[in-house]
Chains A and B, each alone.
Chain A
Amino acid sequence: MGLACTKGMYPKLARKVYKLIRPCGLTYSNVKIPTHQVLSVRLTTHRLLFICSSTPTPPLDTKEPPPAHLQVHLADIRQTEHYTGFLRSSSKITLQLGVPANPDGLGDANSSNSEQNGTINSGVRGTGWNRRSDWTCRVCGFHNEAASATTAAGQQSSQSRWSSAPGATTCKLCGIARPEEDEPDRATIAPSPITSDPATLSAKKQIPCPRCTYLNDPRLPNCEICGAKITSVTQQAEEPPASESIRISFRKGGDKEVYRRLKTVLASRTWEGKQKLGRMGAVRLEEGATVSEGTSRAGTPTRGIGIDGILANIDLENKAKTEEVKDAFEDLEALMVRAGEMVKLVQSLNAKLSTSAPKTSANGSPDPEAETRTFLRSSLVQLGLPVPAITQDATTMKDERAYLDALAAELGGLLTGSASGAEKRKGEEGLMMGSNGKGLVGMDEAWVIWNRARGVSLVSPQVMQKVVPLLPAHTYPAVEKLRFLSGLEVLHTPVYSPRTFERRVRRRLEDSVHRLEDRNEQTNDTSIVNAESTISSFCAEPYTTTLDIALTEGLSVSLTKEMLAFIEMIPECGLVRDEQGDGGGTGGGMIGGGPVEERWYKNLISQFTWVDVNV
């Protein structure tokens, strides 16, 4: 139990020590404590310590050790008062002590006890002077009350009462002296008032049975009388102190400094959350040992104290760390084993798909399953590069240019399917080539696919920007970058260069003119009359829509839009737009009721010259 303040606990609790050695005297509940009149005050973040720097007048009539050091837990201080002193009365600091309701119910269990014991039962206690609680005579079993004990002791002066000679209190009934072990001054108390002093701090002390309260030898696991299991639970029981006050008299000044510091420390409330031991009596006694030279006690089995404790803690931490690292390595090894399996799985899957692929449906229409298979297979192929990804340190190339060239070759291989250097795999199609290839790929898409293929050695967009200009030299057909008006950047094969694209669209328009004329010639006889009579049939110029172009070229509508917007800005462009189309075009129709779709015509405006025939 770490209830008493020991040397071992001193560095543990007191994170910061304010050395305030001020001579002072102590008054407890308006009674001067004679043994504690020459003290020095020490303030820590958790406690207020009263250290008997010298004991000039130890009680003569006792074999007791010199007066012990006292401590007040700052957590117990409810209120502080400062009295500056007047004439002969010295300046004083008054501390109002009190403990809030015990949260775990122990307070309830002990409350009656506390009431019985009177107002001064809790709080200040010590071997030296605290003998004021109730006790039960071990011989006759008479329950002695504190006040009567005092009278029984025969009008003891306050001096002798505080001096606390062991035999000073006797049983009111049989006159047997109160045993020393029975004193309720160990700050731990059993639920029963009879065994209110479990004397747990020493191995010699007996432990009360929790059921029958018989005092058993601590080495016994069970109660001698009732057989109940003796645990140290009783030791946890604490006594809720009633509110009381301590007055510290500063006969030689220094009170202001102490009071100021005390205020700051109290305001900071450092002790909060650190006091696992719960609330104890307001003032605890240093058992025997002084703060400066005390020895570590065996009262705290669960917690390391002193250097031993620190070392033990370090040991524990190290052990935990080693365990974690070991676990992590085991996981990693397991993962590596699995990685091999994954690769095998992908290979077998690919093989399976390849064998099942030729079985296309007989009726010619594309089998959706086959499509899925092809897609799966192509994505599997795209999952990896034929050769390990090129990294700057892996290559022995010194200059950046060579590195970028290598990267360009790698990207080119990915895009066109014909990696220079690596032998061309049969049937392999790049991203932008082949039957499923897209001639126009957004830079972002290309970047993502490239990085997916590279696995963990990712390429930054900056590097990609540097690599792309080198692409045409490393690809066949040359893949080039194109920046649309919106700022969107794409990679395209020569087939999808703006000029080629425009020519293609225009040729399709011209082809449709021929088809139109053919149709007109076939239906010449009937249509010519209508054409002459109504002007509505004059708009015969063929057109196409953005959607039609997107469908024909296999591009997304947005990309097509961007492409056409780029193309129409080229000087001497052969296409012109019409934004007032009603959408009821050649199968295009409205797209989701959106804005009117652009129609594209062959550019007749630029070449048109008008000779005005009107006068």
Chain B
Amino acid sequence: MATLPDTRQAASSSTTDAEPTLRSVTAPSGYVFPAIWSFPPIFTLQPNPQTFAHQISLWTQLLLSWAKFHRVFTLDAGAVDGGDCRDVFHNSAINRRLQPPAIKQFVSHLLKEGLISPDPPQQSSTYLIYWKKPEEWASIIYTWVSDHGLTGSIMTFYELTEGDMAHTTEFYQLPPSLLRRALDVLVKRGKAQVFKGEDVAEGVKFF
């Protein structure tokens, strides 16, 4: 079916693997949605197990890509429209959205894959999206710290994610909860020590 010529697809430069009648959509933010995002059935979970498996993997890929692109860290499964992720769950052009039951199913799949984690723990509405796992965040932070010769010094959490030096880092404006999980990994590895401070003024010392 991909062999069918499509004149308009040629004009569109954003995708390479689009279906003849479907084309990628570029959102105002500059994010390029895949062509399948414009395919209405993708918003209905398919009963066929084969199709469903592929569909859910496409959704996973899309969600992580989209969240990474927009630096969205939280997923609100309890919200009707998907909370922070409403833009990916809803395609207004074709008037299709991932319905709450479908989102629930999707979330449980993501949980199983370890790609999201409830935050705070022991509840099932808000999740942290691990488009980078805490381990990855930990290595990125530690690399950055050692690259900047900050080992041995004490930094507050705020300094780390909001400070002037962090502007250019990947972990800029990382949510504190996610930062804590990343630092926990480092603590376990014996590369950092977390100090209990007053309120936000929590500190961390890297070794």
Contacts and interface: CB of A to CB of B under 8 A. Distances in A.
Contacts of B105: none
Contacts of A603: 41, 51
A609 B8 CA distance: 20
Nearest to B52: A605
A572 B47 contact: no
A539 B23 CA distance: 9
B40 interface: yes
Given A524-B7, A605-B36, A608-B19, A578 B43 contact: yes
Given A605-B55, A606-B50, A611 B23 contact: no
Contact of A539 (B44, B50, B94): B94
A579 interface: yes
B21 A605 contact: no
Contacts of B97: 580
A571 interface: yes
A614 B64 CA distance: 11
B61 A538 contact: no
Interface string A514-546: 001100110010001001100110111111000
Interface string B29-46: 001101110111111101
A612 B17 contact: no
Interface in B6-28: 6-8, 11, 14-17, 19-23, 25
Contacts of B54: 605-606, 608
Contacts of A50: none
B21 A540 contact: yes
Interface in A486-515: 510, 513
A85 B62 CA distance: 111
Nearest to B50: A571
Interface string A567-578: 011111100111
A610 B61 contact: yes
A331 interface: no
B96 to A, nearest CB: 5
Contact of B34 (A520, A538, A610): A610
B21 A578 contact: no
Given A535-B93, A573-B48, A614-B31, A541 B40 contact: yes
Interface string A58-72: 000000000000000
A613 B32 contact: yes
B25 A611 contact: no
A356 to B, nearest CB: 51
A604 B62 contact: no
A528 B11 contact: yes
A541 B14 contact: no
A601 B50 contact: no
A604 B32 contact: no
B200 interface: no
A330 to B, nearest CB: 65
Nearest to A569: B48
A43 B191 CA distance: 114
A517 B5 CA distance: 9
A582 interface: yes
18 contacts: A510-B1, A513-B21, A517-B20, A528-B8, A538-B38, A539-B22, A539-B40, A540-B21, A568-B46, A571-B48, A576-B51, A578-B40, A580-B40, A604-B1, A608-B36, A611-B16, A612-B61, A614-B65
Interface of B: 1, 4, 6-8, 11, 14-17, 19-23, 25, 31-32, 34-36, 38-44, 46-48, 50-51, 54-55, 58, 61-62, 65-66, 68-69, 93-97, 99
